[in-house]
Amino acid sequence: MLTRREALNTLAAPLMSNNKYPIIDPHVHVWKRDPRYPWAKETTKPPEKDATPEMLLELMNANGVARTVIIQVIHYRWDNSYALDVLRKYPQYFRGVARVNPESASAPDDASRLAEQGFQGVRLSPAVDATGDWFRGPLMPPLWKRCRDLKISMNILTGTSRLPDVAALTEQFPDLTVVIDHMADCPADRPDELKKLLALARYPRVFVKVSHTWSVSKMPYPYKDAQEQVRKLYDAFGPQRLMWGTDWPIVEAHCTYAQALAMVRDEMKFLNEEDKSWMLSRTVERVWNFS
């Protein structure tokens, strides 16, 4: 395992793959079992193993991934301290998406503070049952407006039944960049539900992460049924609004980091090299600024 010093020495130059573009992973998590970064009181089953940036940098180096976007993990809830410290240690490699408490009236001001600290997005996770109905409530428009004014992304982790609510908010704030995580975890055998995601293609600022193929699939790797789902998203959104993502380290319970990359780079035969340059790199750079 790389120490921080070893990671810095090994990765002193920007990571590049054999492609003509830097591969960027827009969906990873980091955490550390450390009393300086306590778990949220709601976290009853904290992770048993660390997921540190040094571990991630080692994987990136081995797979030719140049940069990543750290998504604030739910175990810390609204305390983004660990992610922020990682961003400050390795600014050349990481960008960040923070969490704010969506049921707090202070959420817009919290988003402003986090943006000042360097985060380039906010993530919300509305449940599809009644516990997620805050997503339809009066606190959402002020938060969405603030993110639009700050020019940071709104990242949504939810299921397909909540996507009409996403559409309603997007109607109000069409200039806000919205990213749907993990293809809304739409099961590959539910094409009727996929239509709710495809319907968002009419909004030019909505992007979709092609990730969790292992979760939506009913088949073993390389998840041919999930690939068919991606093909439909490709036809609706185009590669300029699709991006891959590993969801490291969660992905390791299902396939390797290398396999998650290979899903888009090698296994999806309907993608040409231009498509891959978008989905592995340029689409990500449309949403997060790495300059």
Half-sphere exposure of 46 (CA within 13 A, CB side): 18
- pLDDT tens column, 79-121: 999 999 999 999 999 999 999 999 999 999 999 999 999 999 9
Q: Please say whether the beta carbons of 288 and 154 come within 8 A.
A: no
> CA 73 to CA 22: how far, in whole Å?
25
Query: What pLDDT is attached to residue 291?
Result: 87
Distance CA 213, CA 187 (A): 9
- Domains contained in the chain, number: 1
**What band does 28 get if pLDDT is binned at 50, 70 and 90?**
very high
183 falls in which pLDDT band (50, 70, 90)?
very high
pLDDT at 5: 56
Q: Across all residues in the chain, what is the average pLDDT?
A: 95
pLDDT at 14: 45
Q: What is the mean pLDDT of residues 157-174?
A: 98
Q: What is the per-residue pLDDT across 246-281, written as a single tens digit (0 to 9) for each?
A: 999 999 999 999 999 999 999 999 999 999 999 999
pLDDT of residue 20: 87
What are the pLDDT digits (tens) for 122-145?
Answer: 999 999 999 999 999 999 999 999
Phi and psi dihedrals of 45, rounded to 5?
Answer: -130, 80
Confidence grade of residue 12 (pLDDT, cut at 50, 70, 90): very low
Confidence (pLDDT) at 16:
47
pLDDT for the residue 13: 42
Helix (H) or strand (E) holding 71, with range, is: strand 65-71
What count of other Cβ atoms lies within 10 Å of the Cβ of residue 138? 8
pLDDT tens digits along 52-82: 999 999 999 999 999 999 999 999 999 999 9
Give pLDDT, residue 4: 52
Q: CA dihedral defined by 253, 259, 261, 262, rounded to 10 degrees?
A: -160
Residue of 124 and 8 predicted with greater confidence: 124
- Entry pTM: 0.93
The DSSP annotation for 139-165 comes to: THHHHHHHHHHHT-EEEE---GGGHHH
Helix (H, G, I), strand (E, B) or coil at 43: coil
CATH number, position 127 = 3.20.20.140
- Model confidence over 193-202: pLDDT tens digits? 999 999 999 9
Residue 11 has pLDDT above 70, yes or no: no
Q: Are 222 and 261 in contact (CB under 8 A)?
A: no
Contact status, residue 71 vs residue 93, Cβ threshold 8 Å: no
Torsion angle, CA of 21/23/27/29, rounded to 10 degrees?
A: -130
> Rounded CA gap, 261 and 265, in Å?
6
Cα–Cα distance between 176 and 204 in angstroms, integer?
10
DSSP, collapsed to helix, strand or coil, labels residue 80 as coil
Q: What range defines the domain where residue 189 resides?
A: 4-10+18-287
Torsion sign over Cα 11, 12, 15, 18: negative
Terminal alpha carbon distance of the chain: 29
Task: Count the Cβ atoms, other than its own, within 10 Å of residue 242.
Answer: 22
Contact 94, 65 (CB under 8 A): no
